[in-house]
Amino acid sequence: MKKILTKKMLANTLKVSLSTIDRKLNEFPHIKLGDTRQSRVLFEADEVSDYLNSTYAINKKKEETQ
């Protein structure tokens, strides 16, 4: 069974503010339940982890080539 995180849980896990999650929302893989501004947003822990690992790897390669 996949672990599902709310915005607050993701912010606590990553040790960032909810504002940071809101700002970066379109960058993270997420599931939006509803079509309004107040819709609930959920994240799959494995997908977020994979996204962060791939992003970190890309940024690390860029730093090494400079």
The 10s digit of each residue's pLDDT in 2-54 is 899 999 999 999 999 999 999 999 999 999 999 998 899 999 999 999 999 88
Residue 5: how many other CB atoms lie within 10 Å: 19
Burial, 45: exposed, middle or buried (Cβ in 10 Å; 0-12, 13-18, 19+)? Answer: middle
pLDDT at position 24: 92
pLDDT at position 51: 92
pLDDT category, 59, cuts 50, 70, 90?
low
**Which residue(s) pair with 6 in the sheet?**
42
Query: 42 by DSSP, 3-state: which?
Result: strand
Boundaries of every domain in the chain: 4-65
pLDDT at position 33: 95
pLDDT at position 37: 85
Residue 9: how many other CB atoms lie within 10 Å: 15
